[in-house]
Amino acid sequence: MADPVIRVIDLCKIYKMGEVEVAALCGVSFTIERGEVVAIMGPSGSGKSTLMNLLGCLDRPTSGEYYLDNEKVSDLKDDELSVIRNKKVGFVFQSFNLLNRTTALGNVELPMRYAGVTKGRKERARQALEKVGLGDRIDHRPTELSGGQQQRVAVARALINDPAILMADEPTGNLDSKSGKEIMELILSLNREQGTTIILVTHDPSIGAQAQRVLRIRDGALESET
């Protein structure tokens, strides 16, 4: 395919810890096509979180180029990155990261608020919650929902602005195996039904096995692509 959604060229991230420079990631290049399900795997400390932060536009690389949806995002400013995250990236975190003060509906609405959407927000948020199977829980607060339900709210929130990629960082890490399976099923069904590009960051081989492709990271470099 000629139009990859992610193109990474010689990506490096170097942290300065006092006098010492630590290369968390170096010389990583790959592409991810639209509609792919890719798992990024590696032991802890391998640089996989750093890579996820860079791919999710939460951080900027020290050097190298990163094209997301044909846009060069590797040297954008903070606020420009915010806009990119808002429109092109959906996040699902291990610890859900929902706002406990507000309802499921309010949580799903939030990215639309930052996107400046004024009309039909509630309706769109409600539909998104119905799609993840929480149509009867829209007015519940996160504390009134089970872990699996909370993660479903997070998935609905991640998809509300129709992002180019969905980044899931250990999405099942805080769930029991049954809820974990359900969440994985939900995420994979999004890929099947809507063609959403999905990037899974995990060290769980059983999750990696469900991806079409696995990028293995070790010591800050791409070890293998299978």
Partner 1 sequence: MNIGQAILEALESLSANKLRSGLTILGIVIGVAAVIAMLGIGAGAQASITSTINGIGSNLLFIASGNQNVTLTNIKPLTVEDATALADQSLAPDIALVAPSVSIFASTVTYGKQNASPTITGVTPAYATARNLTLTEGSFITTQQEQGRAAVAVVGSAVGDRLFGYHVGITGLTLRIENQPFKIIGVLTTQGGSSFGNADNVMYIPMSTAQTRLANRGQDRLSSIIVSATSSDTVNAAMQEITSILETRHKTQPGLDDFTIITQAQILSTVNSVTGVITLFLGGVAGISLLVGGIGIMNIMLVSVTERTREIGLRKAIGARKRDILIQFLTESALLSLLGGIIGIGLGYLIGFVVGKIAAASGSTINPVISFDSILLATLFSTAIGLFFGIYPANRAASLQPVEALRYE
The answer to whether residue 221 forms part of the interface with partner 1 (CB under 8 A) is: no
Which residues, including other chains, have CB under 8 Å from residue 191's CB and lie 6 or more apart? 35, 37, 197, 198
Using CB under 8 A as the criterion, what x/- string covers residues 11-50 for binding partner 1?
----------------------------------------
Task: Identify the CA nearest to 217 among candidates 16, 30, 69, 90.
Answer: 30
Phi, psi (5° rounding) for residue 19? -85, -25
Largest Cα separation within the chain, whole Å, is 55
Q: Please give the residues from 144 up to 203 whose contact with partner 1 meets the rule CB under 8 A.
A: 157, 161
Which lies closer to partner 1 via its Cβ, residue 198 or residue 214?
198
Minimum Å gap between C-beta 153 and partner 1 is: 13
Q: Say how far apart CA 12 and CA 154 lie, in whole Å.
A: 30
Minimum Å gap between C-beta 104 and partner 1 is: 15
Which residues, including other chains, have CB under 8 Å from residue 35's CB and lie 6 or more apart? 191, 195, 196, 197
The answer to whether residue 93 forms part of the interface with partner 1 (CB under 8 A) is: yes
Residues near partner 1 (CB under 8 A): 53, 56, 58-59, 78-79, 82-83, 85-87, 91, 93, 97, 99, 101-102, 110-111, 113-116, 118, 157, 161
